[in-house]
Amino acid sequence: MTEAFHRVARPHPAAIENRKLARRTRLIVLSAIAGMLLSIPASVAIHAIFIRKTATLDDLQLLLPLAVLLVPLALWKMHLHLAHRPRLRITADRLEVFPRGLNPLAPARRVEAAGLQSVHLLRDAFGARLLFVRRDAPPVELDLATSAAGALLEWMQRHDVSLHDGARVLPVRKWLDALIEPERWALASDQEKLRCAYHFHLPFVFGRILARQELVTREDLERYYRLLRTRADFLFLQEAAADVARCLPGFALPREDRLRIACVLRVRGAVEEALRELEELPEREEIPESLLKEWKEHLKHRNLPPPPYSGLATRLLSGVSHYARVREGGLLETRDATVPLATFVAAHLPPSAFSTAPLELHDILGRVARINQDEAATLRDVRRAAPHILCIHAHSYLSLGTRIQLRAIIQKLEKRKGE
């Protein structure tokens, strides 16, 4: 084989549809606000042109400030458009990524099959991403829900590469079987689309298709919760976890989420109740038995030292470099000390276009460590080294329709149980 793939990796139609559904509410609200704001100058212009007939071509210079503001915004959008469509070259023994964007200094990245250590699956509301961990080199991150998904997965399967999905290691074959080629997406059945949307992590597409189904199974609700938790507001997630745990008694993940959220909120009663529920379960998913015992001891004796970068001086000296590096063995190395990641339960990185917001790590006692250097890369390494840490979001892109959708799905399942 000489070349298996050498072209631009465009977003999969399912990923495009998922992004449109995610942005629908924001676009409607922003369009309404923009319409109200533009109605004022529009009414003035109509009055000057058609009624008083006092407008001249010289009045067009009044649009210059608006054009000056729109030019950098257009360039930024163009850069994002090209950056999400890199050019890939996949050969028998290597994978090469050529970035496309307005940054001429962006270097090409190469993944050699011989130097590949592991491949991890990372998820957010807009799809799954592959993280190629290389020996003696920074990781390479690629979107999975693209036109190159088939070629990427076949290349990984050819070299016997497994996907690290949190604490689990899964074969690539599952994703290859669930993949729908871009030209077949519109003609595929709802069951095929549900399977593809789950494996490639497209929550909005999955929820819309599932809401149309007459019959909902326990597996459908479990998969929908797994998709929702990657982007839901953590207060909504706490509510959803309680509803799903009541409906699926043997499902451990929502009970684990309730414990971690209760630790972030520092609600002692909720923490103790969540601990009792977890201890009654025979198996857990992201929090092993040894880690649960360790957390229980910390919550009982409260003898943990403060995490690094958690004091008042960190907030006051926000311009000082508060860096952290994830080391082997699940250790977080900082300027102040080296602490185990096992003491942290949640991470929060506020969304920001220019990455100016600090990364926040919450420990078992609810204290917060703030890191303001290489936030996205540090969070990526934390998620890879410590899958028990929950990524929380302070505000959600999930609309009211998503909440109604989840309740409707739960009601369908409960109705089926009663029949």
Distances (CA, A) of 13 to 129, 168, 182, 193, 303: 16, 28, 6, 11, 51
What mean pLDDT comes out for the span 391-399? 75
Whole-angstrom distance, CA of residue 177 vs CA of residue 163: 14
Cα 139 vs. chain centroid, distance in angstroms?
18
pLDDT digit string (tens) for 117-175? 889 998 888 899 999 998 888 889 999 999 999 999 999 999 988 888 877 888 899 99
Whole-angstrom distance, CA of residue 311 vs CA of residue 249: 40
- Edge-to-edge strand order for the sheet containing 127-134? 140-143, 127-134, 116-124, 163-165, 168-170
Looking at residue 125, what is its pLDDT? 85
DSSP secondary structure letters along 50-115: IIS----GGGGGGGHHHHHHHHHHHHHHHHHHHHTS-EEEE-SSEEEEE--SS-TTPPPEEEESTT
Q: What is the average pLDDT score of the chain? A: 87
pLDDT digit string (tens) for 191-237? 999 999 999 999 999 999 999 888 889 999 999 999 998 888 888 89
pLDDT surpassing 80 at residue 115: yes
Alpha helices in 232-311 (DSSP H): 234-247, 253-265, 268-280, 289-301
pLDDT category of residue 61 using cuts at 50, 70 and 90 = confident
pLDDT category of residue 1 using cuts at 50, 70 and 90 = very low
- Helix (H, G, I), strand (E, B), or coil: what is residue 373? coil
CB contact at 8 A, 226 and 201: no
- Helices 218-228 and 190-199 cross at an angle (nearest 10°) of 40
pLDDT surpassing 50 at residue 2: no
pLDDT category of residue 280 using cuts at 50, 70 and 90 = confident
Of 390, 373, 379, nearest to 139 (Cα)? 379
Looking at residue 33, what is its pLDDT? 84
CB contact at 8 A, 212 and 405: no
What mean pLDDT comes out for the span 246-255? 91
pLDDT surpassing 60 at residue 388: yes
Whole-angstrom distance, CA of residue 197 vs CA of residue 145: 9
Whole-angstrom distance, CA of residue 99 vs CA of residue 293: 46
> pTM of the predicted model, to two decimals?
0.86
pLDDT digit string (tens) for 312-368? 777 776 667 888 899 888 899 988 888 999 999 999 988 765 556 788 999 999 999
Whole-angstrom distance, CA of residue 132 vs CA of residue 115: 10
pLDDT category of residue 38 using cuts at 50, 70 and 90 = confident
Write out the two tokens for 42: 């529009």
The single-letter code of the amino acid at 202 is L
% the chain with pLDDT above 90: 41
The single-letter code of the amino acid at 6 is H
CB contact at 8 A, 205 and 193: yes
Of 268, 285, 267, 145, nearest to 229 (Cα)? 285
Non-local (6+) Cβ contacts of 141 within 8 A are: 122, 129, 130, 131, 132, 380
DSSP secondary structure letters along 292-333: HHHHHHHHHH--PPPPTT-SHHHHHTTTS---EEEETTTEEE
Looking at residue 24, what is its pLDDT? 78
Strands 390-391 and 344-348 come out as: parallel
Non-local (6+) Cβ contacts of 371 within 8 A are: 309, 322, 323, 324, 334, 358, 359, 360, 361, 378
Distances (CA, A) of 358 to 103, 315, 347, 363, 366: 24, 10, 11, 16, 17
Of 236, 272, 240, 231, nearest to 390 (Cα)? 231
Write out the two tokens for 147: 């036109």
Angle (nearest 5°) at CA 342 between 339 and 346: 105
Torsion of CA 360, 361, 362, 364, to 10 degrees: -170
CB contact at 8 A, 236 and 403: yes
Give the number of other CB atoms < 10 A from CB of residue 145: 25
pLDDT surpassing 80 at residue 375: yes
Non-local (6+) Cβ contacts of 3 within 8 A are: 89, 90, 91
What mean pLDDT comes out for the span 299-309? 87
- Helices 289-301 and 268-280 cross at an angle (nearest 10°) of 150
